[in-house]
Chains A and B, each alone.
Chain A
Amino acid sequence: MSKKSLQLSTGKIYAFVLPGFILFIFSLMLPLLISLFISFTNWKGQPNMSFVGLKNYAILMKDVKFWLSFVNNLKFMGILLVTQIGLAFIFAIFIQSKSIYYREAHRRIIFLPAVLAPIVVGMIWQIVYNNDYGMIASVMRFIGFENFKVLWLDSPKMVIFSISIALTWQYVGQFTIIIMAGMQNINSSILEAAVIDGAGIIRRSVSIVLPLLKNTISVCVLMVISGVMKMFDLVFSISGGGPGRASQITALYAFDQAFKVNKLDYASAVAVVMVILSLLLIAIFRLFMSRLGGADE
Chain B
Amino acid sequence: MKKIIVMIMSLTLFSGVLFAKNDQEKPKTGNEVIEISMMDIWVEVEALYKPLNDAIARFEAANPNVKIIRETVPSQAYLVQAPALGAANELPDLVASNGSMTRQFASTGAILSLQDAINKDANWKKRVYSSAWVEHTYEKEAYAQPLAEGNYGYIVYNSAIFEEVGVKEFPKTLDEFMVVCEKIKKAGYIPIALGDAQLWPADSINFSSFVNNFVGNAWTESILNKDGKAKFTDKEFVAALAAFQELATKGYMNENMISITHSESLGLYMSGKAAIRGWGDWEEPVLVETAPEIAAVSKVAAWPGPAKNAKATGSYEASSAWGFSIGSQISKEALPYAIDFLANYVVSDEFAKYMIEEKYQFVPWTMPKFDESKLPQITLDRIAFKAQPDSTACMNYDAVLDAAVKDVYQRGLQSLLIGAVTPEQLAKDIQAEFEMSL
Contact = CB atoms under 8 A, between A and B. Distances in A.
Given A151-B255, A240-B199, A46 B414 contact: no
Given A242-B414, A263-B404, A130 B420 contact: no
A243 interface: yes
A67 to B, nearest CB: 15
Contact of B109 (A47, A131, A258): A47
Contacts of A245: 411, 415
A178 B417 CA distance: 43
A244 interface: yes
A153 B83 contact: no
A55 to B, nearest CB: 12
A240 B258 CA distance: 10
B344 interface: no
Contacts of A76: none
B383 interface: no
B418 interface: yes
Contacts of B107: 44-46, 262
A154 interface: yes
A243 B420 contact: yes
Main SS class of interface, A: loop
Contacts of B197: 240, 242
A154 B255 contact: yes
B63 interface: no
Contacts of A260: 83, 403, 407
Contacts of B109: 45-47
B256 interface: yes
Given A260-B83, A264-B87, A242 B411 contact: yes
B256 A151 contact: yes
Contact of A243 (B86, B88, B258, B403): B258
B421 interface: yes
Interface string B51-67: 00000000000000000
Given A44-B108, A240-B199, A242-B414, A262 B83 contact: yes
9 contacts: A45-B89, A46-B107, A154-B259, A156-B418, A240-B198, A243-B258, A243-B418, A244-B412, A261-B407
Given A241-B411, A243-B417, 13 more contacts: A45-B108, A46-B107, A130-B256, A130-B259, A130-B260, A153-B259, A154-B256, A239-B259, A242-B414, A244-B420, A246-B420, A259-B80, A261-B407
Top-10 shortest CB links A-B: A244-B415, A45-B108, A153-B259, A243-B258, A259-B83, A154-B258, A244-B414, A261-B404, A243-B414, A261-B403
